[in-house]
Amino acid sequence: MNNGPASYSEQVIEHVKNPRNIGELENPDGVGRVGNPVCGDVMELYIKVKDGIITDSSFKTFGCGAAIATSSMVTEMVKGKTIKEALEISNKAVADALGGLPPVKMHCSVLAEEALKKAIENYYERQGEKPPFETTPSSDEHHH
């Protein structure tokens, strides 16, 4: 196998080749969908939560290599974290965990952060609670 274009780090290429946690979770406790097909990126992030801790996470993504890699990475990063800790995962942290992203692809990491926040927001909604943070705009308002 080739290693792909040099503009992507080894970690990004690894996650594109072997994305982790693909697909929908059965009976998820939170789902976040961001982006839109016109922009070329749509991410759906799923979480399972038990006792305030995210026990599982998965994703579905329509997008470029960076979009796939950031989705895959954020599902890995979030598992085992409390909701509060998960909310502190920034887009930069996701990009850093992937060994960096080309500047033109940083928007993909923003999308991953937003998808996570949306999923947590949805979790609170399902619990009948108001999220303890400012809610994010509708996914269709995502912009590059």
Contact residues: another protein, CB under 8 A? 1-5, 13, 16-17, 19, 22-23, 33, 37-44, 59-68, 104-105, 107, 144
At 61, the amino acid letter reads T
Give the span between the Cα atoms of 52 and 84, in whole angstroms: 9
Q: How far is the CB of 132 from another protein (least distance, A)?
A: 27
Name the catalytic one among 16, 39, 53, 93.
Answer: 39
Q: How far is the CB of 102 from another protein (least distance, A)?
A: 9
Q: Is 64 a known active-site residue? A: no
Closer to another protein by CB, 17 or 130: give it: 17
Closer to another protein by CB, 79 or 83: give it: 79
Name 35's bridge partners: 42
Q: Is 39 a known active-site residue? A: yes
Closer to another protein by CB, 37 or 128: give it: 37
- Helices and strands (DSSP H and E) totals, the chain: 5, 3
The residues assigned a catalytic role are 39, 108
